[in-house]
Protein backbone atom coordinates (compact mmCIF):
# COMPACT_ATOMS: atom_id res chain seq x y z
CA UNK A 1 0.00 0.00 0.00
CA UNK A 2 1.40 3.39 -0.97
CA UNK A 3 1.85 6.05 1.69
CA UNK A 4 2.05 9.81 1.19
CA UNK A 5 5.63 10.78 0.34
CA UNK A 6 5.80 13.23 3.22
CA UNK A 7 4.98 10.51 5.77
CA UNK A 8 8.12 8.55 4.85
CA UNK A 9 10.44 11.32 6.02
CA UNK A 10 9.06 12.12 9.45
CA UNK A 11 9.26 10.42 12.82
CA UNK A 12 6.13 8.86 14.29
CA UNK A 13 5.99 9.00 18.08
CA UNK A 14 4.09 6.03 19.50
CA UNK A 15 2.60 5.25 22.93
CA UNK A 16 1.98 1.54 23.69
CA UNK A 17 -0.91 0.61 25.99
CA UNK A 18 -1.19 -3.06 27.05
CA UNK A 19 -1.60 -4.81 30.39
CA UNK A 20 0.99 -7.48 29.46
CA UNK A 21 4.61 -6.45 30.06
CA UNK A 22 5.69 -9.15 27.59
CA UNK A 23 3.38 -7.77 24.91
CA UNK A 24 4.51 -4.18 25.53
CA UNK A 25 8.12 -5.25 25.00
CA UNK A 26 7.19 -7.32 21.92
CA UNK A 27 5.30 -4.44 20.32
CA UNK A 28 8.13 -2.02 21.09
CA UNK A 29 10.67 -4.36 19.45
CA UNK A 30 8.46 -4.77 16.38
CA UNK A 31 7.91 -1.03 15.98
CA UNK A 32 11.54 -0.11 16.68
CA UNK A 33 12.64 -2.07 13.61
CA UNK A 34 11.29 0.79 11.51
CA UNK A 35 13.55 3.87 11.72
CA UNK A 36 10.53 6.13 11.19
CA UNK A 37 8.93 4.97 14.45
CA UNK A 38 9.97 6.05 17.96
CA UNK A 39 8.29 4.51 21.00
CA UNK A 40 7.99 7.37 23.50
CA UNK A 41 6.30 5.52 26.34
CA UNK A 42 4.04 2.72 27.52
CA UNK A 43 1.15 2.12 29.91
CA UNK A 44 -0.20 -0.97 31.66
CA UNK A 45 -3.93 -0.22 31.48
CA UNK A 46 -6.44 2.14 29.95
CA UNK A 47 -6.46 4.59 32.86
CA UNK A 48 -2.69 4.98 32.75
CA UNK A 49 -2.89 5.13 28.95
CA UNK A 50 -5.16 8.18 29.07
CA UNK A 51 -2.79 9.86 31.55
CA UNK A 52 0.29 9.10 29.44
CA UNK A 53 -1.45 10.29 26.28
CA UNK A 54 -2.06 13.66 27.90
CA UNK A 55 1.54 13.87 29.12
CA UNK A 56 3.36 12.64 26.00
CA UNK A 57 1.07 13.86 23.19
CA UNK A 58 2.06 10.94 20.89
CA UNK A 59 1.35 10.86 17.17
CA UNK A 60 -0.19 7.36 17.40
CA UNK A 61 -1.29 5.06 20.23
CA UNK A 62 -1.44 1.26 20.08
CA UNK A 63 -4.19 0.06 22.41
CA UNK A 64 -5.00 -3.34 23.90
CA UNK A 65 -8.70 -4.22 24.09
CA UNK A 66 -9.10 -6.07 27.39
CA UNK A 67 -7.32 -4.46 30.38
CA UNK A 68 -7.92 -3.98 34.13
CA UNK A 69 -9.25 -0.73 35.66
CA UNK A 70 -10.19 0.72 32.26
CA UNK A 71 -10.66 -1.30 29.08
CA UNK A 72 -9.52 -0.24 25.63
CA UNK A 73 -12.92 0.96 24.39
CA UNK A 74 -13.37 3.26 27.39
CA UNK A 75 -9.79 4.50 27.05
CA UNK A 76 -10.35 5.29 23.37
CA UNK A 77 -13.48 7.28 24.24
CA UNK A 78 -11.63 9.22 26.97
CA UNK A 79 -8.67 10.01 24.73
CA UNK A 80 -10.87 11.07 21.81
CA UNK A 81 -12.66 13.52 24.10
CA UNK A 82 -9.54 14.88 25.83
CA UNK A 83 -6.85 14.81 23.14
CA UNK A 84 -7.95 13.27 19.82
CA UNK A 85 -5.16 10.95 18.70
CA UNK A 86 -5.02 8.21 16.03
CA UNK A 87 -5.34 4.86 17.81
CA UNK A 88 -4.55 1.35 16.52
CA UNK A 89 -6.33 -1.44 18.40
CA UNK A 90 -4.23 -4.56 18.99
CA UNK A 91 -6.76 -7.29 19.72
CA UNK A 92 -6.95 -11.02 20.29
CA UNK A 93 -8.69 -12.75 17.40
CA UNK A 94 -11.40 -14.31 19.57
CA UNK A 95 -15.00 -13.55 18.66
CA UNK A 96 -15.35 -11.41 21.77
CA UNK A 97 -12.05 -9.61 21.18
CA UNK A 98 -12.94 -8.82 17.56
CA UNK A 99 -16.39 -7.52 18.54
CA UNK A 100 -14.82 -5.27 21.18
CA UNK A 101 -12.30 -3.98 18.63
CA UNK A 102 -15.20 -2.99 16.34
CA UNK A 103 -16.75 -1.01 19.21
CA UNK A 104 -13.39 0.70 19.72
CA UNK A 105 -13.34 1.72 16.05
CA UNK A 106 -16.78 3.25 16.50
CA UNK A 107 -15.46 5.07 19.59
CA UNK A 108 -12.74 6.69 17.47
CA UNK A 109 -9.88 4.23 16.85
CA UNK A 110 -8.79 4.16 13.20
CA UNK A 111 -7.23 0.71 12.72
CA UNK A 112 -7.25 -2.76 14.26
CA UNK A 113 -4.83 -5.67 13.91
CA UNK A 114 -4.55 -9.11 15.50
CA UNK A 115 -2.31 -9.49 18.53
CA UNK A 116 0.89 -11.51 17.89
CA UNK A 117 0.96 -14.96 19.49
CA UNK A 118 4.63 -14.89 20.48
CA UNK A 119 5.69 -17.43 17.83
CA UNK A 120 8.65 -15.99 15.91
CA UNK A 121 7.05 -16.31 12.44
CA UNK A 122 3.86 -14.71 13.71
CA UNK A 123 5.80 -11.87 15.32
CA UNK A 124 7.49 -11.04 12.01
CA UNK A 125 4.19 -11.21 10.14
CA UNK A 126 2.31 -9.08 12.62
CA UNK A 127 5.27 -6.71 12.91
CA UNK A 128 4.96 -5.69 9.26
CA UNK A 129 1.21 -5.22 9.58
CA UNK A 130 1.59 -3.26 12.81
CA UNK A 131 4.10 -0.83 11.30
CA UNK A 132 1.85 -0.33 8.27
CA UNK A 133 -1.16 0.27 10.53
CA UNK A 134 0.78 2.83 12.59
CA UNK A 135 1.91 4.55 9.39
CA UNK A 136 -1.65 4.77 8.09
CA UNK A 137 -2.91 5.99 11.46
CA UNK A 138 -0.26 8.71 11.60
CA UNK A 139 -1.89 10.55 8.68
CA UNK A 140 -5.48 10.01 9.83
CA UNK A 141 -7.67 12.97 10.66
CA UNK A 142 -9.34 12.40 14.01
CA UNK A 143 -11.97 14.56 15.65
CA UNK A 144 -13.06 15.28 19.20
CA UNK A 145 -16.75 14.74 18.45
CA UNK A 146 -17.43 11.49 16.70
CA UNK A 147 -20.44 11.02 14.41
CA UNK A 148 -23.32 9.53 16.41
CA UNK A 149 -24.48 6.04 15.56
CA UNK A 150 -27.85 5.45 13.96
CA UNK A 151 -30.26 3.45 16.12
CA UNK A 152 -31.00 -0.15 15.11
CA UNK A 153 -33.98 -0.53 12.82
CA UNK A 154 -36.11 -3.68 12.40
CA UNK A 155 -35.35 -5.79 9.37
CA UNK A 156 -38.06 -6.85 6.95
CA UNK A 157 -39.36 -10.39 7.60
CA UNK A 158 -37.89 -13.00 5.26
CA UNK A 159 -39.90 -15.86 3.81
CA UNK A 160 -38.74 -19.44 3.41
CA UNK A 161 -37.29 -20.33 0.03
CA UNK A 162 -37.00 -23.94 -1.18
CA UNK A 163 -33.90 -23.20 -3.23
CA UNK A 164 -31.72 -22.13 -0.29
CA UNK A 165 -31.34 -19.48 2.40
CA UNK A 166 -32.16 -16.50 0.21
CA UNK A 167 -35.32 -15.70 2.16
CA UNK A 168 -37.35 -15.54 -1.04
CA UNK A 169 -35.26 -12.67 -2.38
CA UNK A 170 -35.07 -12.25 -6.13
CA UNK A 171 -31.77 -12.46 -8.04
CA UNK A 172 -30.23 -8.99 -8.16
CA UNK A 173 -30.40 -7.01 -11.38
CA UNK A 174 -28.86 -3.95 -9.71
CA UNK A 175 -25.80 -3.83 -7.46
CA UNK A 176 -24.29 -1.28 -5.08
CA UNK A 177 -20.62 -1.58 -4.07
CA UNK A 178 -19.06 0.26 -1.13
CA UNK A 179 -15.27 0.33 -0.71
CA UNK A 180 -13.41 1.66 2.34
CA UNK A 181 -10.22 1.39 4.36
CA UNK A 182 -8.84 3.46 7.27
CA UNK A 183 -11.80 4.98 9.10
CA UNK A 184 -14.16 2.74 7.18
CA UNK A 185 -16.00 0.76 9.91
CA UNK A 186 -17.62 3.79 11.58
CA UNK A 187 -18.24 5.34 8.15
CA UNK A 188 -20.06 2.18 7.09
CA UNK A 189 -22.42 2.58 10.06
CA UNK A 190 -23.48 5.86 8.46
CA UNK A 191 -24.18 4.24 5.08
CA UNK A 192 -25.43 0.65 5.29
CA UNK A 193 -28.10 1.22 8.00
CA UNK A 194 -29.59 3.99 5.84
CA UNK A 195 -30.40 1.62 2.96
CA UNK A 196 -34.04 0.45 3.10
CA UNK A 197 -35.20 -3.10 3.74
CA UNK A 198 -37.13 -3.12 0.43
CA UNK A 199 -33.99 -2.32 -1.59
CA UNK A 200 -34.25 -3.51 -5.19
CA UNK A 201 -30.52 -4.27 -5.32
CA UNK A 202 -27.78 -6.29 -3.66
CA UNK A 203 -24.90 -4.60 -1.81
CA UNK A 204 -21.24 -5.64 -1.63
CA UNK A 205 -18.96 -4.06 0.95
CA UNK A 206 -15.16 -4.28 0.63
CA UNK A 207 -13.45 -3.01 3.78
CA UNK A 208 -9.68 -3.35 4.20
CA UNK A 209 -9.54 -5.29 7.44
CA UNK A 210 -7.59 -8.32 8.71
CA UNK A 211 -9.13 -11.78 8.81
CA UNK A 212 -10.93 -12.31 12.09
CA UNK A 213 -12.45 -8.83 12.29
CA UNK A 214 -14.77 -8.73 9.27
CA UNK A 215 -17.19 -11.21 10.85
CA UNK A 216 -17.59 -8.96 13.87
CA UNK A 217 -18.04 -5.93 11.60
CA UNK A 218 -20.73 -7.75 9.62
CA UNK A 219 -22.59 -8.67 12.81
CA UNK A 220 -22.40 -5.08 14.03
CA UNK A 221 -23.75 -3.68 10.76
CA UNK A 222 -26.45 -6.35 10.73
CA UNK A 223 -27.60 -5.25 14.21
CA UNK A 224 -27.97 -1.66 12.97
CA UNK A 225 -29.46 -2.29 9.54
CA UNK A 226 -32.87 -3.17 8.10
CA UNK A 227 -30.99 -5.19 5.47
CA UNK A 228 -29.44 -8.56 6.31
CA UNK A 229 -25.64 -8.16 6.54
CA UNK A 230 -23.18 -11.07 6.67
CA UNK A 231 -19.71 -12.10 5.59
CA UNK A 232 -19.89 -13.37 2.02
CA UNK A 233 -19.80 -17.14 1.51
CA UNK A 234 -18.32 -18.93 -1.49
CA UNK A 235 -20.93 -19.75 -4.14
CA UNK A 236 -23.91 -18.00 -2.58
CA UNK A 237 -26.28 -16.20 -4.98
CA UNK A 238 -26.31 -12.40 -5.22
CA UNK A 239 -29.90 -11.43 -4.37
CA UNK A 240 -31.86 -8.28 -3.64
CA UNK A 241 -31.93 -6.93 -0.11
CA UNK A 242 -28.68 -8.55 1.04
CA UNK A 243 -25.37 -7.00 2.07
CA UNK A 244 -22.28 -9.16 1.41
CA UNK A 245 -19.12 -8.17 3.31
CA UNK A 246 -15.86 -9.41 1.79
CA UNK A 247 -14.06 -11.60 4.38
CA UNK A 248 -10.65 -10.42 5.53
CA UNK A 249 -7.76 -11.90 3.49
CA UNK A 250 -10.05 -12.90 0.58
CA UNK A 251 -10.73 -11.14 -2.70
CA UNK A 252 -14.44 -11.13 -3.60
CA UNK A 253 -15.65 -11.33 -7.19
CA UNK A 254 -19.03 -11.91 -8.81
CA UNK A 255 -19.35 -14.75 -11.33
CA UNK A 256 -21.28 -14.52 -14.60
CA UNK A 257 -24.17 -16.44 -13.05
CA UNK A 258 -24.26 -13.84 -10.24
CA UNK A 259 -22.72 -15.83 -7.42
CA UNK A 260 -20.05 -14.90 -4.90
CA UNK A 261 -16.52 -16.16 -5.50
CA UNK A 262 -13.77 -15.83 -2.89
CA UNK A 263 -10.09 -16.46 -3.48
CA UNK A 264 -6.65 -15.72 -2.06
CA UNK A 265 -4.90 -14.66 -5.23
CA UNK A 266 -2.06 -12.13 -4.71
CA UNK A 267 -2.73 -8.86 -2.97
CA UNK A 268 -3.53 -5.77 -5.06
CA UNK A 269 -2.18 -2.41 -3.84
CA UNK A 270 -0.91 -4.42 -0.87
CA UNK A 271 -4.40 -5.41 0.28
CA UNK A 272 -6.74 -8.39 0.18
CA UNK A 273 -9.69 -7.91 -0.24
CA UNK A 274 -9.25 -5.30 -2.94
CA UNK A 275 -12.02 -2.96 -4.09
CA UNK A 276 -10.53 -2.95 -7.60
CA UNK A 277 -10.71 -6.75 -7.90
CA UNK A 278 -14.38 -6.69 -6.91
CA UNK A 279 -15.21 -3.82 -9.29
CA UNK A 280 -13.50 -5.44 -12.28
CA UNK A 281 -15.83 -8.45 -12.00
CA UNK A 282 -18.88 -6.31 -11.18
CA UNK A 283 -18.30 -4.24 -14.31
CA UNK A 284 -18.27 -7.38 -16.44
CA UNK A 285 -21.42 -8.85 -14.88
CA UNK A 286 -23.59 -5.81 -14.02
CA UNK A 287 -22.17 -2.96 -16.12
CA UNK A 288 -24.45 0.10 -16.09
CA UNK A 289 -26.70 -1.57 -13.48
CA UNK A 290 -24.03 -1.10 -10.79
CA UNK A 291 -22.86 1.88 -8.72
CA UNK A 292 -19.92 2.29 -6.37
CA UNK A 293 -19.22 4.52 -3.38
CA UNK A 294 -15.56 4.99 -2.40
CA UNK A 295 -15.22 5.98 1.25
CA UNK A 296 -12.35 7.05 3.51
CA UNK A 297 -9.03 5.24 3.18
CA UNK A 298 -5.37 5.53 2.25
CA UNK A 299 -4.02 4.70 -1.17
CA UNK A 300 -5.75 4.26 -4.52
CA UNK A 301 -7.64 0.97 -4.28
CA UNK A 302 -10.96 1.27 -6.07
CA UNK A 303 -9.99 4.13 -8.37
CA UNK A 304 -9.26 2.05 -11.48
CA UNK A 305 -12.28 -0.16 -10.85
CA UNK A 306 -14.51 2.87 -10.43
CA UNK A 307 -13.24 4.36 -13.69
CA UNK A 308 -13.93 1.08 -15.53
CA UNK A 309 -17.41 0.83 -14.04
CA UNK A 310 -18.20 4.41 -15.05
CA UNK A 311 -16.98 3.74 -18.59
CA UNK A 312 -19.46 0.83 -18.74
CA UNK A 313 -22.30 3.15 -17.70
CA UNK A 314 -22.20 2.70 -13.93
CA UNK A 315 -22.21 5.56 -11.39
CA UNK A 316 -19.36 6.65 -9.10
CA UNK A 317 -19.85 8.33 -5.72
CA UNK A 318 -16.98 9.48 -3.51
CA UNK A 319 -16.85 10.74 0.06
CA UNK A 320 -15.74 14.35 0.39
CA UNK A 321 -12.48 15.37 2.05
CA UNK A 322 -14.06 17.15 5.02
CA UNK A 323 -15.72 13.98 6.33
CA UNK A 324 -12.88 11.52 5.57
CA UNK A 325 -10.51 10.16 8.20
CA UNK A 326 -7.99 9.70 5.37
CA UNK A 327 -8.71 11.40 2.05
CA UNK A 328 -6.79 9.01 -0.17
CA UNK A 329 -9.00 6.47 -1.94
CA UNK A 330 -11.84 8.96 -2.55
CA UNK A 331 -9.42 11.59 -3.86
CA UNK A 332 -7.84 9.26 -6.43
CA UNK A 333 -11.24 7.86 -7.47
CA UNK A 334 -12.55 11.41 -7.94
CA UNK A 335 -9.55 12.23 -10.12
CA UNK A 336 -9.84 9.06 -12.22
CA UNK A 337 -13.59 9.17 -12.82
CA UNK A 338 -15.08 11.50 -15.44
CA UNK A 339 -18.36 12.36 -13.71
CA UNK A 340 -18.11 11.40 -10.04
CA UNK A 341 -20.64 12.60 -7.48
CA UNK A 342 -18.77 13.78 -4.37
CA UNK A 343 -20.83 14.10 -1.19
CA UNK A 344 -20.39 14.25 2.61
CA UNK A 345 -20.59 10.93 4.43
CA UNK A 346 -24.19 11.43 5.56
CA UNK A 347 -25.26 11.85 1.92
CA UNK A 348 -23.61 8.69 0.55
CA UNK A 349 -26.61 6.40 1.14
CA UNK A 350 -29.11 8.83 -0.48
CA UNK A 351 -26.71 9.30 -3.41
CA UNK A 352 -26.48 5.53 -3.92
CA UNK A 353 -30.26 5.19 -3.81
CA UNK A 354 -30.64 7.87 -6.49
CA UNK A 355 -28.66 5.70 -8.91
CA UNK A 356 -31.25 2.90 -8.73
CA UNK A 357 -34.48 2.53 -10.72
CA UNK A 358 -37.52 3.79 -8.80
CA UNK A 359 -38.51 0.33 -7.57
CA UNK A 360 -38.68 -1.48 -4.28
CA UNK A 361 -38.32 -5.15 -3.39
CA UNK A 362 -41.49 -7.17 -3.86
CA UNK A 363 -42.55 -9.13 -0.80
Strand-pair partners of 252: 262
The secondary structure of 140-203 as a DSSP string is ----SSPPPPPPP-PPPP----TTSSSTTPPBPSSEEEEEE-TTHHHHHTTTGGGS-TTBSSEE
The secondary structure of 288-305 as a DSSP string is GGEEEEE-SBSS-TTHHH
Size (the chain), residues: 363
Helix axes 214-224, 95-107, angle to 10 degrees: 60
335: left (phi over 0), alpha (psi -120 to 50) or beta: alpha
How many other CB atoms are there within 10 angstroms of residue 163's CB atom? 7
- Single out the residue of 113, 111, 135 nearest to residue 123, CA to CA: 113
CA distance 122 to 22: 15
CB 66 within 8 A of CB 92: yes
CA distance 56 to 204: 41
CA distance 296 to 285: 26
Pair type for strands 260-263 and 251-254: antiparallel
How many other CB atoms are there within 10 angstroms of residue 36's CB atom? 16
Pair type for strands 37-43 and 12-17: parallel
CB 96 within 8 A of CB 71: no
CA distance 14 to 205: 31
CA distance 56 to 41: 8
Catalytic residues: 181, 208, 301
Amino acid sequence: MAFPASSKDRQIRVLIVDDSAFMRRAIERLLSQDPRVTVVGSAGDGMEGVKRALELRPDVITMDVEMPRMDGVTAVSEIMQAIPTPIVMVSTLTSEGAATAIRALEAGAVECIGKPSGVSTDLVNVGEKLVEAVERASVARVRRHRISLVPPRPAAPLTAHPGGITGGRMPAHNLLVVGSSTGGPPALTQVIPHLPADLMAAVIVVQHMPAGFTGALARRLDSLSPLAVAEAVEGEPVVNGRVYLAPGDYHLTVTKDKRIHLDQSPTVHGVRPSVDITLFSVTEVFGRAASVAILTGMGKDGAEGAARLEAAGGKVITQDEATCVVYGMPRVATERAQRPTQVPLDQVAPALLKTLPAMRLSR
